[in-house]
Amino acid sequence: MIKNKKLYFIIIIFALILCTGYFSFVFIRNQSIPTSSSEYSSGGDRTQSSSNSSSQGGATDLGGALPKDAGSSAPSSLGTSSSSGEIFLNMPISGATIKSGSAIAGTSYLGSIQYRLVDSSIGVLAQGDLNVVDGRFSGILHFTPQSTKGELVIFSYDPSGSETNSIRIQLALGK
């Protein structure tokens, strides 16, 4: 009789573990990929949002490697650092002209960084995240601008979901 009680107890524990795993999987699978708030011009704190426009561009994550045609990264004196020092953006540099296919690269000791490219007339052109590999992040931007002025924002999220470690640079957008 004692063996049967132990067997029932083990079966119940096993069933609970399976149920927990299943519900965790379903919950995580149904979560939306976080994107930034659509109120890009308000100037207030941004938090993660679940909305995402399918017409937006994005970036091809290069895992920290620079594309062959990008040459070497910008000298440290030309790059931009977040006020915390957690993120350093090597390229593009502030005031540069970028177009679809331009590289974005820098260094960080965070697991990943977020980017947002904003067109001054229509808002967000491209946004997403890039993985940091061996202290470096890089990607190729894909977007279609409507104006010639824009802003690139590089940042991370703090545990509460607010943007932190922000770098903002003004850019010229080419076609």
Q: What is the CA radius of gyration of the chain?
A: 21
- 129-151 average pLDDT score: 90
Strand partners, 153: 116, 168
Whole-model pTM above 0.75? Answer: no
Pairing mode, if any, of strands 97-98 and 163-173? parallel
Q: Residue 78: pLDDT above 80?
A: no
Lowest mean pLDDT among 16-30, 114-128, 141-155: 16-30
User: CB-based burial of residue 10 (10 Å sphere; 0-12 exposed, 13-18 middle, 19+ buried)?
Assistant: exposed
Strand partners, 105: 91, 138
- Report whether CATH 3.10.20.600 matches the domain 58-173: no
- pLDDT class for 28, splitting at 50, 70, 90? low
Tell me the domain boundaries of the chain.
1-31, 58-173
Higher pLDDT, 131 or 11: 131
% of the chain at pLDDT higher than 90: 21
pLDDT in tens, 31-63: 443 433 344 444 444 444 433 343 567 777 777
